[in-house]
Amino acid sequence: SFTVDHSSHLPPTPQKDHSDRINQPQPPSQNRKRPAARKTPTMSSSKVVLGKMGYGCMGLTAFYGPPVSNSKGVAVMKAAYDAGCRMFDTAQLYMQFGDVVPGTYKYNEELVGEFVKSVPRDTVTVATKFFPKMEGSKFEYSYEILREATEGSLKRLGVDCIDLYYMHRMVSFRSEKGGESRGVQEKSGSNRAERRR
């Protein structure tokens, strides 16, 4: 084996003269002080901690393969917390629908609640979702159903307040014959026509 040295055939690299830059004043932008580190964003009216990142916890329990163990699930959320996540999202519906795997919680809310106990409560936002009851292919909504679902989520999460609570599915406003839906469309259409005038 052998090697070939081509360096002798290369033209010399020109050396740049930077002497004119010595002791030159820095541009104004470089003289400015760096801005202070930004504080974690909050909702001013409620002081709910938002952060810049959130973590969706569903896959720890359901829909994406077997659930992880409780200890591993808490460790994953703690790692997300250490990385800067301050909002943790779960839902009433995120659960094991078959036999519960040993060493795991049936509900994802229970797993999130276990994690929440391990960090200061005022440093995280707990978000969960209400899922209406279903009768056949129809959703059922009522104050009683909502109250029951809310109390269940509070108990599973082990908290006295849900920071962000929202609806997992919206009821359709379309009646069986479509009359109600058409009425809404006609009314909104007439309003648009009036605005155009």
pLDDT tens-digit map of 93-128: 999 999 999 999 999 999 999 999 999 999 999 999
Q: Which of residues 145 and 192 earns the better pLDDT score?
A: 145
CA distance 135 to 111: 29
The backbone region for 103, taken as left when phi is positive above 0, alpha when psi lies in -120 to 50, beta otherwise, is left
CA distance 74 to 87: 14
Share of the chain above pLDDT 70, in %: 60
pLDDT for residue 3: 43
Q: What is the mean pLDDT of residues 134-142?
A: 76
Instruction: Determine which of 32-36, 48-52, 73-77, 154-158 has the lowest per-residue pLDDT on average.
Output: 32-36
pLDDT for residue 60: 98
Share of the chain above pLDDT 90, in %: 49
pLDDT for residue 175: 44
94 among known catalytic residues = yes
Record the pTM.
0.64
Phi first, then psi: give them for residue 151, nearest 5 degrees.
Answer: -65, -40
CA distance 109 to 152: 10
pLDDT bucket at 181, cuts 50 / 70 / 90: very low
Burial class (CB within 10 angstroms; exposed 0-12, middle 13-18, buried 19+) of 146: middle
Active-site residue identified among 55, 64, 81, 94: 94
pLDDT bucket at 80, cuts 50 / 70 / 90: very high
